[in-house]
Structure 1
Amino acid sequence: MGRVNAMYPDKWIGRGGPIAWPPRSPDLTSLDFYLWRHLKRMVYATPVNTRQELWQRIQEVCREVGNTPRIIREKCLYPPSNKSYNLARSEDDPSMGQSHQIRLILGEEKVRQGGCFVECGALDGETRSNTLVFEKRFGWKGILIEGDPKNVELVKKKHRKAWTVDACLSTKPYPNTVMFHQQFNIGKISKKQPGHRVAGHVEVLCLPFYSILLAVNTTTIDYFSLDVEGVELDVLKTIPWDRVDIKTLSVEFIHGPEGKSALKTYMQERGYSVYSEVTHPGKLANDFIFVKNDLMPVTEVTLT
């Protein structure tokens, strides 16, 4: 300690040092990023009048937080609509080609038997949706995930028959909050720190993919559409692949800083092959189509 005192007089923290160790560590942890703020918001959702009431409230909230899937279901999910569709166009497949490739992989018979999808980057629930055709024409169940609160309201107005998640997909294996840059179809997670007012940005909750699946009580996904403007690989790395069964995916590759090869290699290491690439001259699609190795078609398939 003598050397530390000599080099950093009155400028270090520790036991027996000039500055006592604070009750809250200066090191940032996952608890700092999400849990403490979330607990405080829940504890003070209604006024607390006494110290005893505060203590009871803290205990109740801590027990409640332990049931994460139920909290997600109650606080962040909107159930499938029972109203008639409210779509701007009559077409039921506005996808840029991704859905067609998935149908080729699975085969028409399997598609007609029903399935389950997840679409992250749901936008307004209709524009270039990769999952609308599976839901509307074939009766699939599914989950629509959208990080921009403005877009979530648009999704709800479409009356989709799928769960709608008002949150981003987390790039960490735990919930956290981020600043989201709102730009309709090119909105994305910002590098700006939460807790500050920034024009065109909003603070949003991010949830792990696996936690969302548990909240709707499913771990088998026939088709996962992932378009999150550059953090696709980070999201994929949070998935516990040994606990889920994802048969096919379309994953945008154009914005990821790691490049196409890193995304392709990661998925190959998880037991997936590239079935095809879907591109569009107007850059409206730049996706890999991945399929589990044991589901890769051995013969060419045509759709009726």
Structure 2
Amino acid sequence: MNTFNTVVYQTNVVMNILLLGVTAALLLRYLLFASSALLLLWVNTGCEHDCLDQYLAGPPNHTSPLLLETVREHFLTPPPSKPDNSTFQIDEPVWARLVDWNLVQESLKEIWEGQPPGVFVEVGASDGEFMSQTIMLERNLGWTGLLVEPDPRAFTILQGRRRRAWTSPLCVHNLPPCSRRYWLRDIEEDLPNHFKQLLMARSKLNDYTMQGDEERGGTIMVPCVPLSTILLAANITSIDLLTTATGVDEDETRMSDVIHSRKFDIKTLLIHFPAGRLFNEPYPRIKGYILDMGHSTLQIKIYVKHSHCQLLSNDECKKMKHYDSLEACLKYFCFNFLTVYSHKRS
């Protein structure tokens, strides 16, 4: 009997060790899968064994040919053959005056009207219409470009808009390619459509969800890559306007791989900063760019690349200077800041 019990005990020990080993292997596989499953071809069932070496190597470099091919084939949709070319009236939407959206559109029109059609990139494009910073440029001035929106509900509506642009359901971050948790704001069905648009536009990466909002929505996993990955996959390196409105205060950092790269020439930036960020830093600086005070508003700032500063003036470029506090507060509400940046003729 003692011998029998010893054998049973030893068998149980061996089985537990084997079970622990299998569990560890499955956990390792899950961790590798979770970081790249939605982006890398070798996690697909048909490729899992053939591509084992690449699979075990983890996520590729953000500019690797394999990753760019994956994004190009699975996460980029070309412009439709029959886009909506109707004129867009910036004063018609019920939300036109929300956060001075219509004033920004007038500023963009002033800068770009009369020039050849340009290329835009809009990160956080939402449904392709609600407070879009590029729809007027596209419909009225003949622009085309790229629209990026990770909310699957908004992305479906966006594609139905028939915008003259590439579209991508990826999220943008400045980390290696991976999947991240994304918070989707619940939408009450009995609300007017523009209220639904507003609620949907509040969706964002779960890390940046406001405290108390957790119960007002749910989360999903979305694939995220650097913006440079999407642009290179779409073969876009010259950009006339790069705009973002993701609801967080680090957008210029999130896009730093593009803004500060010699691979890309970005003439102008348009960033919608959250109010909380601007209380601490009313006019954030971006290296290599001039803050265009004349076309900016309190929350939406327009920057012009130094090498394209002729966009600020038809006759000559302008250079930055400092206002003093009194001048700043006379021109804008004073949020307890000492200096703001504007321009003067050289």
TM-score (norm 2): 0.62
Aligned to 2:284, what secondary structure does the other structure show? Answer: helix
Give runs of aligned pairs for residues 211-226 of structure 1, distance below 5 A.
211-226=229-244
Question: Contact 1:141–1:162 at 8 Å: present in 2 too?
Answer: yes
TM-aligned CA distance change 1:263 to 1:206, over 3 Å: farther
Give runs of aligned pairs for residues 225-236 of structure 1, distance below 5 A.
225-230=243-248, 231-236=250-255
Give runs of aligned pairs for residues 53-64 of structure 1, distance below 5 A.
55-59=49-53
Structure 1 vs Structure 2: percent identity of aligned residues? 25
**Does 1:91 find its partner at 2:91?**
no
Amino acid paired to 2:73: E
**Structure-1 residue corresponding to 2:161:** 158
Question: Contact 2:227–2:257 at 8 Å: present in 1 too?
Answer: yes
Q: Using the TM superposition, give the Cα deviation of residue 145 of structure 1 relative to its aligned residue in structure 2, in angstroms.
A: 0.7
TM-aligned CA distance change 1:256 to 1:227, over 3 Å: farther
**Cα separation, 1, equivalents of 2:279 and 2:257:** 18
- Structure 2 portions without partners, runs of 5+: 1-23, 26-30, 94-100, 186-199, 210-214, 316-346
Question: Contact 2:85–2:139 at 8 Å: present in 1 too?
Answer: no
Amino acid paired to 2:225: L
Q: Using the TM superposition, give the Cα deviation of residue 138 of structure 1 relative to its aligned residue in structure 2, in angstroms.
A: 2.1
Q: Using the TM superposition, give the Cα deviation of residue 244 of structure 1 relative to its aligned residue in structure 2, in angstroms.
A: 1.4
Aligned to 1:56, what secondary structure does the other structure show? Answer: coil
Question: How many positions carry a matched residue from both structures?
Answer: 249
**Does 1:271 find its partner at 2:289?**
yes
**Cα separation, 1, equivalents of 2:51 and 2:230:** 26
Question: Contact 1:121–1:226 at 8 Å: present in 2 too?
Answer: yes
Q: Using the TM superposition, give the Cα deviation of residue 238 of structure 1 relative to its aligned residue in structure 2, in angstroms.
A: 3.3
TM-aligned CA distance change 1:98 to 1:190, over 3 Å: same
Amino acid paired to 2:206: S
Q: Using the TM superposition, give the Cα deviation of residue 205 of structure 1 relative to its aligned residue in structure 2, in angstroms.
A: 1.2
Amino acid paired to 2:51: R
1:115 pairs, out of 118, 125, 128, with: 118
Question: Contact 1:264–1:274 at 8 Å: present in 2 too?
Answer: no
**Structure-1 residue corresponding to 2:69:** 70
Give runs of aligned pairs for residues 289-300 of structure 1, distance below 5 A.
289-293=302-306, 294-298=309-313
| Structure having the higher Rg | 2
**Does 1:241 find its partner at 2:261?**
yes
TM-aligned CA distance change 1:180 to 1:271, over 3 Å: same
Aligned to 1:205, what secondary structure does the other structure show? Answer: strand
Question: Contact 2:170–2:222 at 8 Å: present in 1 too?
Answer: yes
**Does 1:182 find its partner at 2:184?**
yes
Question: Contact 1:173–1:238 at 8 Å: present in 2 too?
Answer: no
Question: Contact 1:179–1:192 at 8 Å: present in 2 too?
Answer: no
**Does 1:79 find its partner at 2:99?**
no
Aligned to 1:126, what secondary structure does the other structure show? Answer: coil
Aligned to 1:200, what secondary structure does the other structure show? Answer: strand
**Cα separation, 2, equivalents of 1:214 and 1:189:** 23
Aligned to 1:204, what secondary structure does the other structure show? Answer: strand
**Cα separation, 2, equivalents of 1:84 and 1:273:** 34
Q: Using the TM superposition, give the Cα deviation of residue 44 of structure 1 relative to its aligned residue in structure 2, in angstroms.
A: 4.6
Q: Using the TM superposition, give the Cα deviation of residue 118 of structure 1 relative to its aligned residue in structure 2, in angstroms.
A: 0.7
Question: Contact 1:241–1:270 at 8 Å: present in 2 too?
Answer: no
Amino acid paired to 2:152: P
Q: Using the TM superposition, give the Cα deviation of residue 246 of structure 1 relative to its aligned residue in structure 2, in angstroms.
A: 0.9
Q: Using the TM superposition, give the Cα deviation of residue 31 of structure 1 relative to its aligned residue in structure 2, in angstroms.
A: 7.6
Q: What RMSD over aligned residues (CA atoms) do the two structures have, in Å?
A: 3.5
